[in-house]
Amino acid sequence: MKLLVILLFLGLLTGCSGNSSYSLTPQLLLVSFDGFRADYLKNYDLPHLQNFIKEGVLVEHVTNVFITKTFPNHYSIVTGLYEESHGIVANTMYDDVTKKHFSDSNDKDSFWWDGAVPIWVTNQLQENRSSAAAMWPGTDVLIHNITPSYFMNYSSSVPFEERLNNVTTWLSSSNPPVTFAMLYWEEPDASGHKYGPEDRVNMSRVLKEIDDLVGDLVQKLKVLGMWDNLNVIITSDHGMTQCSENRLIHLDSCIDRSNYSVIDLTPVAAILPKTNITEVYEKLKNCSPHMNVYLKEDIPDRFYYRHNDRIQPIILVADEGWTIVLNKSSLKLGDHGYDNSLPSMHPFLAAHGPAFRRGYRQSTINTVDIYPMMCHILGLKPQANNGTFSHAKCLLVDQWCLNLPEVIGIVISALLLLTMLTGLLIFTQNRVPASRSFSRLQLQEDDDDDPLIG
Ligand SMILES: *[C@@H]1O[C@H](CO)[C@@H](O)[C@H](O)[C@H]1NC(C)=O
Ligand SMILES: *[C@@H]1O[C@H](CO)[C@@H](O)[C@H](O)[C@H]1NC(C)=O
Ligand SMILES: *[C@@H]1O[C@H](CO)[C@@H](O)[C@H](O)[C@H]1NC(C)=O
Ligand SMILES: *[C@@H]1O[C@H](CO)[C@@H](O)[C@H](O)[C@H]1NC(C)=O
Ligand SMILES: *[C@@H]1O[C@H](CO)[C@@H](O)[C@H](O)[C@H]1NC(C)=O
Ligand SMILES: *[C@@H]1O[C@H](CO)[C@@H](O)[C@H](O)[C@H]1NC(C)=O
Ligand SMILES: *[C@@H]1O[C@H](CO)[C@@H](O)[C@H](O)[C@H]1NC(C)=O
Ligand SMILES: *[C@@H]1O[C@H](CO)[C@@H](O)[C@H](O)[C@H]1NC(C)=O
Ligand SMILES: *[C@@H]1O[C@H](CO)[C@@H](O)[C@H](O)[C@H]1NC(C)=O
Ligand SMILES: [Zn+2]
């Protein structure tokens, strides 16, 4: 025990006397592979990713936010907020007050993003720190009037290699140093939509390519001498489920198009009625047994998807694997956006580095819990958020971690010990007057032992 304290003290001393806060400021790289469904890890061969996990931590299922789309979930990761609170409530939005439109190709207006302060902004408001980003949604937009110090304008055609090279350059040689960086890649989402997650042949090819990119990432960090000191989180925004031309919901068969505008279509349709909301609702309500139709005020609490002007008066939520269409079938074989309680919609999270334990696994956290964990690693005071730091405690080396099974184990052991002690007490008390047989037994044993000792 004393030795441990001395060792710790020595460690602290050498840490402090070393050169500047430069080397002590923790660095974090946050990586997202879009649409990486949690169970791909179990169902496909991913040796590089498994090696990364072996030396770090894995969260098997991350419960993401509703709606399970790309822009909203990426913004929840970096803000810790539900969609109704950060304001990016879909990939396609319309604001009836300002008449503004948002889409993935028209996303640069700060209006849409300023409802929250993402972690890269908070990080940059600290002295001597900067942030860097390669294509993470929102990082090429002025948010609260700043962008990351280093960023790329979004272009899907920039290869992974270039994104990785530039991010590692920024992480290793900037002044003030980049302490927080983000790296985004469009796969396996694009292929998941194209082939559907049940196309094992095509998906295993795609996932092998992604696994090789993870291998390149680790290799690059090792070559640059950054592997041991950099914290790396690899995660995703959502999963993917199989769709089919046999599972279509035709809105045109229920309601005249002139009665409403479709802001977003599938699998969660955002409906803006042109006339009487109740009339439109009545027409849609019984349109299909494979979707739920909600007036805005009746959207279930568990979605945390109501208190925002950008959420339309009526939303339709298709059942898993069903696709909402107007009259034609514009079908993708895979899709996401569905109920966030569906396992197929969940991504995973893996992490490696000095802040993380080694070889630890836990079954779940929430997407909104990632933000307070990242703030803790970077030593930032978090903005108000919907995450819970303690959910991620067990992943971190510097936290006391007692999970439920361990607590139960300790309580049971304590109870057992207590019972045994009580039993022993009662036993000895009862047996004290009549302890002859006990002594005889002891004597016999001593007799037996004697020759051996002698
Ligand atoms: C700390 O390192 C910087 C370069 O990284 C160097 O300029 C400076 O002289 C060093 N300071 C000390 C006290 O070693
Ligand atoms: C910021 O960096 C400058 C020079 O590199 C240094 O003098 C100053 O102490 C640093 N501030 C903090 C808060 O680390
Ligand atoms: C991004 O694009 C804008 C104009 O479209 C340009 O002014 C700016 O320099 C670009 N930024 C980077 C980092 O490429
Ligand atoms: C990456 O860095 C190289 C070298 O500085 C630069 O030429 C290139 O434009 C950068 N790529 C992007 C997408 O910003
Ligand atoms: C994989 O995709 C190709 C088209 O790129 C398609 O022809 C093929 O049928 C797919 N494989 C399977 C097993 O469906
Ligand atoms: C709504 O649709 C009905 C047909 O179902 C049509 O008669 C009516 O004119 C439409 N109302 C509006 C305002 O477009
Ligand atoms: C909307 O329609 C319902 C049923 O058709 C009717 O009871 C209600 O008064 C209408 N509301 C308005 C504001 O017109
Ligand atoms: C589908 O909608 C288009 C208008 O977008 C219309 O021209 C066409 O007739 C419709 N087809 C069917 C089968 O209803
Ligand atoms: C989420 O956090 C924001 C910011 O603190 C807060 O305004 C909102 O009420 C929270 N939402 C829930 C459901 O607690
Ligand atoms: Zn996505």
Reply yes or no on whether the pLDDT at 74 is more than 70. Answer: yes
CA of 252 to the centre of ligand 8 (A): 9
Q: Which ligand is nearest to the CA of 21?
A: 2
Q: For residue range 295-316, what is the model confidence (pLDDT) as tens digits?
A: 999 999 999 999 999 999 999 9
Both tokens of residue 3? 């030795």
Domains of the chain, earliest start first: 19-241+340-395 (3.40.720.10), 248-331 (3.30.1360.180)
Angle at 62 between CA 59 and CA 68, to 5 degrees: 160
- Position 401 scores a pLDDT of 87
Indicate the pLDDT class of residue 404, thresholds 50, 70 and 90.
Answer: confident
In this prediction, residue 213 has a pLDDT band, given cuts at 50, 70 and 90, of very high
Among the listed ranges 55-59, 144-148, 213-217, 399-403, which one has the minimum average pLDDT value? Answer: 399-403
The encoded tokens of residue 342 equal 């569906």
Q: pLDDT tier at 66 (50, 70, 90 boundaries)?
A: very high
Would you state the pLDDT for residue 292?
98
Ligand 4 pocket: which of 139, 160, 162 to mutate (most atoms <8 Å of CB)? 162
Quote the ligand 2 centre to 20 CA distance (angstroms): 9
In the prediction, which pLDDT does 424 show? 86
Confidence of residue 433 (pLDDT cuts 50, 70, 90): low
Residue 204 Cβ < 6 Å to ligand 5: no
Q: pLDDT at residue 128 above 50?
A: yes
Say which residue, 410 or 71, is predicted with more confidence: 71
**d(Cα 345, Cα 64) in Å, to the nearest integer?**
8
> pTM for this structure?
0.86
pLDDT band at 147 (very low <50, low <70, confident <90, very high): very high
Q: Given this model, what pLDDT does residue 425 score?
A: 87
Residue (of 232, 222, 139, 123) closest to 178 by Cα position: 123
More confident residue, 384 or 275: 384
Q: How far apart are CA 185 and CA 167, in angstroms?
A: 13
Cα→Cα distances 19→15, 128, 248, 451, Å? 9, 15, 63, 67
pLDDT at 429: 82
Q: Whose CA is nearest to atom 13 of ligand 5?
A: 201
Q: Which atom of ligand 5 is nearest to the CA of 200?
A: 13
- Examine the pLDDT at 143 and tell me if it is beyond 70: yes
* pLDDT exceeds cutoff 60 at 148: yes
Tokens standing for residue 182? 């983000």
pLDDT given for residue 88 in this prediction:
98
- pLDDT > 60? residue 184: yes
- pLDDT of the residue at 210: 98
Q: In the structure, what pLDDT confidence band is assigned to residue 13 with cuts at 50, 70 and 90?
A: very low
Q: What is the mean pLDDT of residues 195-203?
A: 98
Radius of gyration of the chain (CA): 28
At 5 the pLDDT is 47
In terms of Cα–Cα distance, which of 300, 283, 382 is closest to 67?
300
pLDDT band at residue 17 under the 50/70/90 scheme: very low
Residue 298: the pLDDT is 98
**In this structure, are residues 267 and 316 in contact, taking their beta carbons and an 8 Å threshold?**
no
Mean pLDDT of 259-285: 97
How high is the pLDDT of residue 454? 37
Q: How many angstroms separate the alpha carbon of residue 211 from the centre of ligand 5? A: 20
**Mean per-residue pLDDT for 406-410?**
81
Answer whether residue 102 shows pLDDT above 80. Answer: yes
For position 329, what pLDDT does the model report? 67
227 CA → ligand 1 middle, Å? 22
Distances from the Cα of 419 to the Cα of 411, 422, 425, angstroms: 12, 5, 10
Query: Active-site residue 70, yes or no?
Result: yes
For ligand 8, mutation pick of 253, 256, 265, 328 (most atoms within 8 Å of CB): 328
Set 25, 63, 68, 70: catalytic member = 70
The answer, yes or no, to whether residue 241 has pLDDT greater than 50, is: yes
pLDDT confidence of residue 174: 79
User: Mean pLDDT for the chain?
Assistant: 91
Q: Is the CB of 302 under 6 A from ligand 9?
A: no
Task: Give residue-wise pLDDT tens across range 328-348.
Answer: 767 899 999 999 999 999 999
- Span 209-227, mean pLDDT? 98
